[in-house]
Amino acid sequence: MSPLDQIQKMEHRIGDLEKENKRLQETVQFLTQKLYGKSSEKTASLPVGVEQLSIFDEAEAAASRTAPEPTTQQIQSYQRKKQVGERAELLQDLPHEKQLFQVQDRCCDVCHSELVLVGEEFVRTEVEFIPARVQAIDMYRETLECRTCRKADKPQMKKAMTPAPVIQHSMASSSSVAWVMYQKFVNSMPLYRQESAPRGAA
């Protein structure tokens, strides 16, 4: 092998080693950032130097360009799947407290006779946060009936008013929502750590 060929071979070898060295440095930098870097709730496994993508950008990137648009009938017929027994399982370890909302005006709106209690209607369950304690509040409301109107075949019923939920179709109360926001934005506690915290802990 001529000296010129040996020089060219060494140059190729040096180039390959430089590429390998650069790749290893980038790997070490990435793993070091993952191990010792600042913890956050950004998208996992992003390379160093790449900013977190928006959830809309990720959805756009993952979407199929050739997928047909949903029809109006498909959108209207969509119903959220309910997990049977899921809420009961989440609340089974919490102490329950009954909260009854009573009708304030206990007179019939038609004949002004006194209404008679005929039952209680279950409205919803909210998870109430009390510092150092979490409990489930089962909310009920009274249902009253006018017996005078009932005898006249003109049944009149009245139900107690209940406060609107903070979030529709959610078990969260104002205190639990406020506590989650305080832990997240004031104490910088990620949501996954709040979720894994032992029940009943402040």
Q: Which two tokens stand for residue 76?
A: 């209207």
User: What are 98's strand-pairing partners?
Assistant: 138
Are residues 180 and 114 part of one domain?
yes
In a domain, 2, yes or no: yes
Return the residue matching tokens 């802990």. 201
47: Cβ contacts below 8 Å, ≥ 6 apart? 30
The answer to whether 65 touches 105, Cβ cutoff 8 Å, is: no
Which parts of the chain sit beneath pLDDT 70? 38-67, 70-84, 131-132, 197-202
- In this prediction, residue 70 carries a pLDDT of 67
Domain match, 109 and 182 both? yes
71 belongs to a structural domain: no
pLDDT of res. 40: 57
Instruction: Name the residue among 109, 102, 173 with its Cα closest to residue 136.
Output: 173
pLDDT at 202: 45
Q: Which two tokens stand for residue 197?
A: 């915290």
Same domain, 21 and 101: no
In a domain? residue 105: yes
Quote the tokens at residue 59: 């959805």
- Can you tell me the distance from the alpha carbon of 133 to that of 191, in angstroms, rounded to the nearest whole number? 19
- Co-location of 110 and 25 in the same domain: no
pLDDT value, residue 188:
86
- Model pLDDT for residues 155-188, shown as the tens digit of each residue: 899 999 999 999 988 888 988 888 888 888 888 8
Kindly report whether the global pTM for this prediction surpasses the value 0.85: no
Domain total of the chain: 2
Concatenated DSSP letters for 109-153? TTT-PBPEEEEEEEEEEEEEEETTEEEEEEEEEEEEE-HHHHHTT
Q: Which domain holds residue 146?
A: 93-196
